[in-house]
């Protein structure tokens, strides 16, 4: 975290700003004294100037350049905040969360799915995952990962192979170079680390988390779509809503029988409902956003 504080001090000096901080949540502010750069959905660097900049676009571009130059520092800080949030959420849920995880793991095995998830229809929350060690935290993060994977593949790179390779040096260097040279490099670097962490946690984890990110993106686009079989690089997906607020999502990387999966889902749903209702509520994020006091 000391590195992030030094970066904020650098931003303040370089932009001759009164203040620099990291903001989590909330929308963009229309205050003309503020210059903001989005690191990822819901997480932004913000500097406050004494006077509105004469060229707002130039100031925003300079802030983005500095953020990209220190991608490693920024990503490490985000991961630190994410880890703290995850530990807090896990402690809050306690043993009851474990019961949901076990039920989802049983559902995964019974249907032949790669992963089983419980997502919220009205918020970014992922309430449960059959493989929590993969680090799937929320749906906005999954969208960032899916977008970064698409960008890397458009460049002819295979980030899943790079993360899973036993000798990843050459592929890893290519991914790092792509992250440095491409706009939005913080997202690409974050994607690379997420895949590597997933692979370290579980053999084949990089491929699983990549498939889950793409499946969640498909779920965002068509939440009530019928089951879809895997096709090419696209994962298969089957889902079922419950209690009007939640949805069970099954991610497949191999062909499956929609009728059989539907039957298993229907039988498992009452158990999943009970476990979800037993979970303690998460405290909502403030509507106006939250500023993390990381000032130099």
Residues 47, 15: contact at Cβ < 8 Å? Answer: yes
For residue 225, the SS3 value is coil
Task: Give the Cα separation of 70 and 78 in Å (integer).
Answer: 13
Task: Give the Cα separation of 199 and 97 in Å (integer).
Answer: 23
Structure token digits, residue 36: 């903001």
H or E element that contains 246: strand 246-252
Task: Give the Cα separation of 244 and 19 in Å (integer).
Answer: 44
Listed residue (194, 199, 109, 98) closest to 146, CA to CA? 194
Query: pLDDT by residue for the chain (296 residues), tens digit each?
Result: 566 777 788 888 888 899 988 876 666 677 899 998 877 666 778 899 999 998 989 888 888 888 777 666 666 666 655 554 454 445 444 444 788 999 999 999 999 999 999 999 888 888 999 998 888 778 887 887 888 788 777 777 776 766 666 444 444 444 455 444 444 456 666 677 777 788 888 888 888 888 998 899 888 888 888 999 999 878 999 999 998 889 999 999 999 999 999 999 999 999 999 999 888 766 444 444 444 444 44
- Chain centroid to CA 47: 25
Residues 99, 127: contact at Cβ < 8 Å? Answer: no
Task: Give the Cα separation of 177 and 129 in Å (integer).
Answer: 32
The pLDDT score that the predictor gives to residue 137 is 73
Task: Give the Cα separation of 178 and 30 in Å (integer).
Answer: 33
Matching residue, tokens 């965002």: 220
């Amino acid at each position: 975290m000391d590195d992030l504080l030094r970066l904020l001090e650098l931003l303040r000096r370089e932009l001759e700003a009164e203040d620099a901080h990291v903001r989590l949540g909330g929308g963009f502010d229309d205050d003309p004294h503020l210059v903001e750069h989005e690191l990822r959905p819901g997480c932004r660097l913000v500097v406050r100037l004494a006077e509105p900049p004469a060229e707002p676009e130039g100031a925003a571009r300079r802030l983005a350049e500095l953020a990209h130059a220190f991608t490693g520092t920024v990503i490490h800080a985000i991961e630190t905040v994410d880890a703290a949030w995850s530990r807090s959420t896990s402690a809050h849920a306690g043993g009851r969360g474990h019961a949901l995880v076990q039920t989802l793991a049983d559902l995964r095995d019974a249907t032949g799915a790669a992963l089983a998830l419980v997502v919220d229809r009205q918020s970014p929350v992922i309430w449960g995952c059959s493989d929590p060690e993969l680090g799937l935290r929320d749906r906005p993060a999954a969208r960032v990962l899916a977008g970064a994977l698409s960008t890397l593949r458009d460049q002819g790179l295979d980030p899943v192979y790079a993360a899973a390779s036993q000798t990843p040096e050459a592929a890893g260097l290519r991914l790092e170079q792509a992250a440095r040279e491409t706009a939005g490099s913080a997202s690409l670097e974050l994607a690379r680390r997420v895949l590597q962490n997933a692979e370290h946690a579980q053999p084949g984890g990089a491929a699983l988390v990549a498939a889950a990110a793409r499946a969640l993106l498909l779920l965002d686009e068509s939440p009530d779509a019928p089951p879809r079989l895997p096709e090419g690089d696209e994962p298969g997906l089957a889902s079922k809503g419950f209690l009007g607020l939640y949805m069970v999502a099954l991610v497949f990387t191999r062909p499956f029988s929609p009728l059989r999966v539907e039957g298993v889902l229907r039988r498992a749903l009452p158990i999943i409902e009970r476990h979800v209702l037993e979970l303690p509520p998460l405290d909502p994020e403030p509507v106006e956003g939250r500023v993390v006091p990381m000032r130099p």
